[in-house]
Amino acid sequence: LCMIVKNEEKFLEGCLQSVKNVVDQIIIVDTGSTDATIDIARRFEAEIHSFEWCDDFSAARNASILHAAGKWILWMDADERLIPESIPVLKKLLVDEDGPVIYRIHIRNYIRKDKGIKLSSAHRLFTNFKGIMFSGRIHEQVSQSAKALNGEERESDVILEHLGYALEEYDQHQKDKRNRQLL
Which residue, 156, 171, 181, is CA-closest to 93?
A: 156
Instruction: Please name every residue paired with 7 in a beta bridge, in sequence order, or none if there are none.
Output: none
The answer to whether 37 and 26 have CB atoms below 8 angstroms apart is: no
Question: Cβ(1)–Cβ(74) under 8 Å?
Answer: yes
Q: Would the CA dihedral through 136, 54, 63, 20 be positive or negative?
A: negative
Supply the pTM of this predicted model: 0.90
Q: CA 137, 108, 128 angle in degrees (round to 5)?
A: 50
pLDDT values of the chain reduced to their tens digit, one per residue, 183 residues: 999 999 999 999 999 999 999 999 999 999 999 999 999 999 999 999 999 999 999 999 999 999 999 999 999 999 999 999 999 999 999 999 999 999 999 999 988 766 688 999 999 999 999 999 999 999 999 999 999 999 999 999 999 999 976 655 545 555 555 556 655
